[in-house]
Every structure is written in C-alpha cells, then in structure tokens.
Amino acid sequence: RVFECWPRKFCWQQPSRERRACTGAMDEHKQLEEGQGLKLDWAKLAKVANAKCDVVPVAVQDVDTGALLIIAYANEAALQESLKRRVCCLWSTSRNKMWVKGETSGDYLDLVEIRVNCEQNSLLYLVSKRRTGACHTRDGSGATRPSCYYRRLDPALLGGGNRVAGRELEMLPAGAVFADGAAGRFRGAATTAVAFLMGAAAALAVQRLASRRAA
C-alpha cells in the first residue's frame, strides 16, 4: 500500500497513516534517484521473471553522440509499436504496460534504426532526440536529464580505495554526458551494455524454465 498513493495521488490527500507511509516512500525513492548511496537492485531480473513478461532487454543509444541513454525492455507489442510510430516504445516490467518514451514529458526519441544481437535475445535502438532530455528525472534547473546515466561510482573505488557507505556515487558535471571528446567512450558503452544484457536474458530464460518445470 505504500506506493498506491504515489505518484497517482498526492500524499496529502491520504489519511494520516497512509500519508506518512507515502511520504517515506517518496523520500526513499528520491534518495535512490538523487542520492550518493549505492543501492543496486540485484533482484531486478527475478522481478521481471515473476511478472511473467515475455520481453528482451533493449539498449537505447543516441545515434548522433553514441551516448547510452536508457536500458529497458521490449515485448513484441512494443517492438511493433516502435516500428509503426517510428519512436522509442518500450514495455514497463514494473507496471506491465506499454511505455512510449516522451508521451508524458514530450522527450520523444525518434527511431532511426533497430539492431538485433547475434543470438536474437536483445535489441539496440538507435534514436534521435526531439528535445534534450531522455531520463524521467530532472536536474537542479528542472530540465529532464539527457541520459539515465548521470552518476558514476567514485573513481577512487576503481583503484581499490576505501568505500564510504552512503557516498559511493557522485553526480557527473552538467553537460559531461555529452562532453566534447567523450563521444568515443560512449560509443562503446551501448555495445558493452548489450553484451551484458545478453547474459541477463539467458539467465532470465533459465529461471523461467526452472519455474515452469517446478509447476
């Protein structure tokens, strides 16, 4: 019940007990999206499997800069809608419904090309932005962020530095996602992500198969 009141209704519209729970959920969600603490959802693939969604992973990449914008999922219906409308359409595994990127925010991603990996278990959407945003979150100025990857692990951790709990992440400087000279680094990012997701998709298939056999 914690999330039933948000974001579909404002917390203050709820009875006091539910309002407190809702407010706490909002604070936790804000920390997840804006905080410095590392809180990776290691159970994500299990959640997708439990949702019984027939999906494949999708990496969404800016065709102009090579920047990796979004990692999400698509089912057959989302793929067909993408082809029909020539915009990025995905499948929300948490809400179990079609997700047309930009339908709410206006940050549509026009579809330029769709690539399929070697084992046909993941997709790469090459897109062109109509505006500047891609992520649903907003920066300090109120503008939608240009990519979902606006934070990085503290570089000191890469060298074996001590981990400070709750301060593992740092915000990238404004404009760093599309900084001049960085395009080469980002062009390889989507390829790496898709390779990772191929393994994730395989793991998901194995888990589903095991569940069906158990049933």
Phi, psi of 128 (to 5 degrees): -120, 130
Q: In Å, how far are 15, 19, 67, 191 from 44, measured between CA atoms?
A: 31, 27, 23, 21
Give the three-state DSSP class for 195: helix
pLDDT of residue 141: 83
Mean pLDDT of 70-85: 96
pTM as predicted: 0.71
Q: Record the tokens describing residue 15, joined without a space.
A: 């009875």
Of the pLDDT bands very low, low, confident and very high (cuts 50, 70, 90), residue 156 is: confident
pLDDT score for 190: 54
pLDDT in the model for residue 209: 55
Distance of alpha carbon 185 from alpha carbon 181, whole angstroms: 8
Q: What is the mean pLDDT of the segment spanning 170-187?
A: 60
Q: Which residues of 29-67 are buried (b: 16+ CB within 10 A; e: fewer)?
A: eeeeeeeeeeeeeeeebeebbeeebebbbbbbbbbebbb
Which residues make beta-bridge pairs with 73?
57
Greatest mean pLDDT among 97-101, 139-143, 179-183 lies in 97-101
Residue 138: band (very low, low, confident or very high) from pLDDT cuts 50, 70, 90 = confident
Contact (Cβ atoms closer than 8 angstroms) between residue 63 and residue 127: yes
- Cβ–Cβ under 8 Å, residues 146 and 133: yes
Tens digit of pLDDT for each residue in 40-56?
Answer: 999 999 999 888 889 99
For the cut 90, the answer to whether the pLDDT of residue 71 exceeds it is yes
Q: What pLDDT score does 161 carry?
A: 75
**Is 115 a residue whose pLDDT tops 90?**
yes
Cβ proximity of 24 and 1 under 8 Å:
no
Burial of residue 214 (CB within 10 Å: 0-12, 13-18, 19+) is exposed
| pLDDT level of residue 108 (50, 70, 90 thresholds) | very high
| Ramachandran quadrant class, 22 (left: phi over 0; alpha: psi -120 to 50; beta: rest) | alpha
- Over residues 198-212, the mean pLDDT reads 57
CA atoms in the 13 A half-sphere facing the CB of 154? 17
